[in-house]
Structure formats: structure tokens, C-alpha cells
Chains A and B, each alone.
Chain A
Amino acid sequence: MLNMVSLLPHCTKDNKVESKSSKGTTLNELVELKCCSSCLFFECRKHKDLYLWMAKCPSVPSVKFIVNAVHTMEELKLTGNHLRGSRPLLSFSSNFDNDAHWKLVKEMITQIFGIPKDHRKSKPYHDHVFNFSIVDGHIWFRNYQITVPHNESVKVARGGLEKMTLIEVGPRFCLNPIKIFGGSFGGPTLYENPLYVSPNQIRALEKRQKAGKYAKKVKAKKRRKMHELSNPLEPNEFADMWKE
């Protein structure tokens, strides 16, 4: 996830913060110390689940996401490359405007992921685009490089725009919103994803299904025994026919 640092030149990366219940205040303090306006906090639990906190500090809302389907920039399949620190274009799918919480998330994304104009670490020109779209209740993030045929990039005509292609740079991930809080890292819950199941519960369910094996076997044996007792076999009249 350090990829994000390289994508966002206007950010400052800070030390790791211990993930405990009092981290909210710590983080708020940190943000204040660094004179930042917003905060992305990646929280890893059990080495498996990655949560992302997106917060506008100090008093304004924060969103908690669970991140899945992560592909980093190091993967060799993604062949694009772009300037470090050029300002990205942000492309949103229109269903961000459908609901209040999506609108809020969109506004936060534009403020966090968009690099401020004339930021001292940013470079001129736009050669990549961040794509956010909501599919299936998740926000899917993609980063594409914009390539235009070289000879035309000097004087950009309409034809150049037509021939424009995109190459994926990465990283790619998928954000599933869990909750929206009124304050940063705390405050009243404003939204809660009704369809969210925490990965812990999923794992627990799987485990329970697996664990039931022995109990089921024992149960089945018992049932069989009861069944045999309740309806015993009729004595076979030919049983000792050949013994005489």
C-alpha cells in the first residue's frame, strides 16, 4: 500500500501507529501535528484483513472501508507507467450521486486523491487517470496511464484525442464501505453498510462448518442406534434351517 504514497505527492507518510482502541485520538493528534487536512489510515488486522480509514480531520467525517482484491503496482501484468506526481484526472461513475453516503464518499475522494493545483511537489501535465466506480456496492479503484501517439502529442488535434489509449498502471483495489462516522476516527455513526459481514464472521462460519464433522458423525451413529432399537429385525424363520 506504499504505492499510494508514490501516487499522492501531496501526502506525508508517517510512522506506524499501533492499532488499539485509543488510536483515534493519537491519529488526530498526529494529523494536527503534521498540519494535514485529511488522513488515510491503513489498518491491518490478523495479517489478513486490510481496513482503510479515510478521514477529514479534525472534526469532519471519517469513513471506514474494508479493502479487498488488492493488486499492487509491483505486479508485472500492469504495464503502464506515468510521471510521479503529475495531477491525476478523477473519473467517477454516475451512481456516486445516487445516495447521500456515496456523495459524501465522493467528495472525500476528490479532496484526498486529487492533487491540489500548483502543489509544490506536483508536476505539470496530466498523464494518468484515477477511475472510481461503484459496482455491486463496492468502490473499485483503477489507475490508468494515458497514452497518445507520440508525433501528435506536440500539437494535439482532435485526431490525437481519438487515438488515445489507456494502459493500466495499478494499483487496483476494491473498497467496501463499512461505516461512516460523524467525526474523525469516532463520533456518531452516520451510516452503516447493511450488507457488511466482517471477515472474522466469515471465517468463523467456515470453521464452524468444518468443525461440525465429528459431532455430526456421532449424532448420526446415535440416531442409527436408536432406530435399530426402536424397530428390531424380525427373527428369520429360516435362520437355522441348515444347521440340523
Chain B
Amino acid sequence: MGLPTKESILYDEEGSEDDEMVDMNVELPESESESDSDEEGDVKLLEPSKKAIYNREGLDEKLQDIIWPENAGWIHRLSIDITQEQEVDVNDDLKREASFYTQALEGTRQAFEKLQSMGLPFLRPPDYYAEMVKTDSHMEKVKRRLLTEQKEMEEADERRKAREAKKLSKEIQAQKTKERAKQKKDEIESVKKWRKQRQQSGFARDVNDGELELPFEDSKAFERSSKRRPGVAPGDRSGGKARQFSGKGKKGMDKKRKGAEFKNSKFGFGGRKGMRKQNTADTTDDVRAFNKGGMAGNNKRKR
């Protein structure tokens, strides 16, 4: 039963005289069954109001009045009926649209078959140009929008890919460092082991045999490169950078980097510093610091 407020829905339109009012309550359940669910954002009566008019005879009569004669021919009406397979849920946009689409497609197919059997042309030949419903400028807009959408999608894709690659590389890096740490640990371990062995064996016969057994014996990891690098003071562990930078002073290009490097070379890596001031063969040959006799004072002194 409808709520009392909603019973008065009778739309008081100017012409709706209810003189032909035939209240057919018997018919109501049919119409109820096909439309009982709620429409999106639309309040509905839960129960059909009983007062609603349903004049079946009148409707049929009117239909007979306006209907086209049977012999009018299909070509005049071009209408196709398609059975909907199942009830579609109105609130599911995608499904609903899909059902409409399939209905239209099916209808078109049938209609085309009919037209074909009649031998009538129905498709626009590719060279038939005429005014379209939407203007060219509008279609241009549509196209542009499609393109931008596609571009945006591609860009988003790229961004995502980059992000993933970054993540992956990070992972790989982490794995590598882990591996390295592990290797280092292993090596240290093996050295310890070797030491212990040596201790146990009492340093006696290690001169030849003990060392030969060891696994890292021929690996180059612990081998000091015996090659003497030129220009590096004995005990300088900076890899030859100390000299390189100390000589040139502050006229470098990249101050920050240079500063760090300089500091490294000066303070970093520990090592012996005592031998730094000693000459090597290179420094003795280096005559940049000498005066070449251009100065007047020097000349005077010589005389």
C-alpha cells in the first residue's frame, strides 16, 4: 500500500478528466513486476499506488487508431524487435550499456540482412560525402581529446615503468652489497681460520707447506701490486691523489668535489705520513718550484 502522502500523486494536468476512469487493479501486478527495483538517485514508490489508472481497452483502441496498416511494408518503418536474453541490472552501468549495444548490433544485423535480401543499397559508399550530424570542428575536438587521453595513458605507463625499474635496481644493488659483505666476511673468516691453524701448528712448518694449503693462496685479492706507481711517496695510501692535488692548489673547477678529495688525500685512509716530505725521483726532477733567475734580488745575491 502506498503511503498516504504519495497516494495523491494523481497528476492534475489540465486535460486529465478521469471520466473514463476504470480502475483495473487486476492488471497491476504485471506492471509491478517489471519495474520494482530502484532507479539510480531516484526515489520510487515501493508499492504501486492502487489508484493508478490502467485503461487497457482504451489503450488498445487508440493503438488501433494510430497504427499503420499491416501492409505498409517493413521498409517504411525499419523497426526490429530483439529479445533481451536476461534482465539487466540498471545500476550496473557497464552491463546495461553492453546489453544495449548487443541489442542494437543484433538489430542492425537483422535489418541489414533484410535489406540485402531486398537488394537495396544500405551502406554508404566511401566516396559519398555529405553533411554529418556532428560538425568537423566538433569531431576535431573529439579526436584531440582521444589523443590526449592516449598520451596521458602512455606517460603514466612510462612513469610506472621507470618507478618499477628503479625499485628493481635498488633491489639488485642491495643484493650485490649483501653479497660483497658476505664475501668479505668469508674471506676474513678464512684468514682467521688460517691463523688459528698456524698457531696450532706452532709456526713451525709454515714456511712452505702451511701457506700452500690455503684457499686464497693464488687469488689476487691480497696481493699487493708490486708495481711502483710514479710520483707516490712511500706510505702514501691515497692512491696517488695527494700529490696530484696538493701541487695544483685551489684553481680547480669543482671545489666541493676537490675539497673532499683533498681532505681524503690529506687525512683519509690513515697510513704513514712520515715519509711524505721525502723526495722521490720525480720530485727531484720537478723543477717547477725553482726560480729561473728572473728575479732581481736573486741576481744581486749571486754577485
Contacts and interface: CB of A to CB of B under 8 A. Distances in A.
User: Interface residues of A: mostly helix, strand, loop or mixed?
Assistant: mixed
A52 interface: no
B130 A126 contact: no
Interface residues of A, number: 96
B59 A101 contact: yes
B81 A136 contact: no
A188 B19 contact: yes
A87 B78 contact: yes
A10 interface: no
B138 interface: yes
B77 A114 contact: yes
A192 B83 contact: no
Interface in B9-54: 9-11, 13-21, 28, 30-32, 34-37, 39-40, 42-45, 48-50, 52-54
A6 B133 contact: yes
A91 B122 contact: no
A21 B141 CA distance: 42
Contacts of A111: 66, 68
B100 interface: yes
A110 B139 contact: no
Interface string A116-135: 11000001111101010111
A144 interface: yes
B126 interface: yes
Contact of B79 (A92, A164, A165): A92
Interface in A154-206: 154, 156, 161, 164-166, 169, 176, 178-183, 185-198, 201-202, 205
Nearest to A186: B15
A136 B90 contact: yes
Contact of B80 (A86, A89, A136, A150): A89
B66 A107 contact: yes
B295 interface: no
Contact of A194 (B31, B103, B121): B31
B205 to A, nearest CB: 89
Contact of A74 (B28, B66, B138): B138
Interface stretch (A56-64, A210-218, A227-235, A236-244): A56-64
Nearest to B112: A161
Contact of B105 (A86, A95, A164, A192): A164
What 8 A-B pairs have minimum CB-CB distances, sorted nearest first? A186-B15, A137-B35, A91-B107, A194-B48, A194-B52, A188-B20, A131-B104, A90-B79
16 contacts: A21-B14, A56-B66, A74-B138, A83-B132, A84-B133, A89-B107, A92-B81, A93-B82, A103-B59, A129-B111, A134-B34, A153-B126, A164-B109, A186-B16, A188-B17, A188-B20
Given A94-B83, A107-B63, 14 more contacts: A79-B146, A92-B79, A92-B82, A94-B84, A126-B122, A137-B35, A140-B96, A154-B126, A166-B104, A179-B11, A182-B20, A188-B17, A190-B62, A194-B45
